[in-house]
Structures are given as C-alpha cells and as structure tokens.
Structure 1
Amino acid sequence: MSERFKPNTTVAAVIERDGRFLMVEEQTTQGVRYNQPAGHLEAQESLLEAVCREVKEETGYRFTPQGLVGIYLAPGEPTYLRFAFFGTVTAAPDDSALDDGIIAAHWLSLAEITARETQLRSPLVMRCLHDWHQGARYPLALLHTLA
C-alpha cells in the first residue's frame, strides 16, 4: 500500500519598499539562511491568513496582501507548494517577539540578496524575486476558501 502524497503548503511575501525587499535572516539546520517572510499553512487557516500571520511572526510588520506573484511547486523530499504574495507592510514593526530561529528582519537590495545567494533558504527565493521584477502580478480573486 503506497503512502498518500502530501506536499508541504507554504506561503511567502514579496515586499518591496524603496527598492529594498523585506527579508528574514534565520537559523536553520543548514546554518544561517535568508528568505522572504514565509512559512507553512496551518489547519483551519486561509492562504491570506497564513501569509499575514507569517509576516507578523517573522518580522513584526503587519502585512496587507495585494496579489499573487506566483504559485510554485518544488519537487523533492519534501515537496513544497508555495503561494507567493506581494503587498505592503505597516511603516514600522511592532515590538512583539519574533518566531524562534529568526535572527532579524532586514530591508535588502536585490544586489545584497544576490550577494547572499549561497545563503538563501531555497531557489524559490530568487525565483520569486525574478518573477516580481518581470512584472508577475495576479489578482487575489484567484483564491477561494470554501466554508
């Protein structure tokens, strides 16, 4: 009897302000890595709720999603299904504690992110930024959460 395939559903936020992107520096089992604010979809949560929660937990900023950059399938062990959103954040983060493992949130230019390419959490980070720069913008109306 084969096991049922269950990809890990994740959300991420591409947030640009004045030519800089909000990135998270985090401690992982592979060492220090950089990622967009991102994380796993939790039970009984919509994709929009998940991305807003993850941005808040990892950066302290309140996120307002405006659309999708893309939906990405990264096969492997484990397999990830990533929903990447774009949007805006509040002017300043609040003073709440960040998730365990988060070292800091940084506003980095694309050149600074590219210089850290070997420290990125996954190839999805650069792919999302590339798609953002290529103009990938899809409406939130594509998403439906059924009761």
Structure 2
Amino acid sequence: MTKASDSKNDVWRPHVTVACVVADGDRYLMVEEEVSGRLAYNQPAGHLDDLESLEHAAVRETREETGWTVALTHLVGVHQWRSSEHGDVVVRFTYAANPVSHDPGQPLDSGVRRALWLTRREIADLGERLRSPMVLMSIDDWLAGQRLPLSIVGNLMPDGGVP
C-alpha cells in the first residue's frame, strides 16, 4: 500500500485514451502511423484532452487521424495495459462507431501515414506491427457482441465535455 501524499504531483496517473472500432461490413477502419521510428497499426485512437468528454475525444481522434466523421453507438470496453512503447499504464475506453462521412482532403495528424480498411484476419496478420494488444482485443470484443450503452459512462463535464 502506498502512502498518501500532500502533493498532487506525487499521485500516480495512467494515460487515459480512447479508440473507435469502426466497422464497414467485415472491414475495420485502421490507422497506419509512425511510432518511435517504426510503422504501427491501430484503431483511430488518442489521448483524452483536459475538459473533454470521452465520447467527444473518440469522435475527434477518429476525424483527426482518418478524415472520417463517425457516430458512436456503444461502449465496447475499457482495457488496461502497460505500454511497451513508453512503459506507462494506459486505460483505454473503446467505442463502437458507424462511419458517417469522409473528407479525403483533411490533413491527418502528425505521424499518421494513412487510414485504411482491413479485415480481422488482415489485422491479426499484422502481429507485432499492431500498436498494442488492445487493437485485436477490441475487435474481438465487438465481434463477440460486447456492446454497452453509451450512458454507462457518466459525463459531468461543463458543456457536455466539448472544449
């Protein structure tokens, strides 16, 4: 058991991230990105910003990394993992989303090479090139029917968490 500290800076904090499983038939929206000098594949995903709701972050990250606007339908799951990239713990809220519209002219986030649609088998075949084991776990959870209502995540942020 750790001792409580008087300093807020001494409190351990994980990285809070969001991701989206966006399905179109048997294909899933993926991001090809450069991470620490290597090519990696991930769902559209990223960090939660200050004063932002988890839902807003998931939609924003998907748009910024892929050019796709999506509509969230469910929470697929919450996953915890210690990153092999930076060694810190990541707590990831993964949402299911439907594709709504695409802006092919939108510049993508720094480091993102392209957005692409892959089948589950193609994603599994990427093996070690997946950014984390949460990528395939999220798809498998979605395929197994794991879908929680969006209301399961309470939002008490001012303005609904839209910065």
Same-fold call, TM cutoff 0.5: yes
Query: Deviation per CA, 1:44-93, whole angstroms, max 9, x where unpaired?
Result: 10001100100000000001101110011114630001000001112433
**Partner amino acid for 2:57?**
A
Q: CA RMSD in A?
A: 1.4
TM-superposed deviation, 1:125: 0.5
Q: In the alignment, which residue of structure 2 is the partner of 1:119?
A: 129
Q: In the alignment, which residue of structure 1 is the partner of 2:67?
A: 60
Tell me the SS of whatever aligns to 1:42: coil
Check the 8 A contact 2:35/2:111 in 1, yes or no: yes
Using the alignment, how far apart are the partners of 2:139 and 2:76 within structure 1? Answer: 9
**Partner amino acid for 1:50?**
A
The percentage of aligned residue pairs carrying the same residue is 37
**Partner amino acid for 1:22?**
L
Q: How many pairs are equivalent?
A: 147
Q: In the alignment, which residue of structure 1 is the partner of 2:58?
A: 51
2:79 to 58, 62, 72: 72
Structure 1 unaligned segments of length 5 or more: list them.
Answer: none
Structure 2 unaligned segments of length 5 or more: list them.
Answer: 159-163
Matched, 1:17 2:24: yes
Q: TM-score, normalised by structure 1?
A: 0.94
Using the alignment, how far apart are the partners of 2:36 and 2:135 within structure 1? Answer: 18
Q: In the alignment, which residue of structure 2 is the partner of 1:134?
A: 144
Rg: which structure is higher? Answer: 2
Tell me the SS of whatever aligns to 1:62: strand
Using the alignment, how far apart are the partners of 1:126 and 1:30 within structure 2? Answer: 22
TM superposition outliers: structure 1 runs of 4+ over 6 Å: none
1:102 to 80, 105, 112: 112
Check the 8 A contact 2:39/2:129 in 1, yes or no: yes
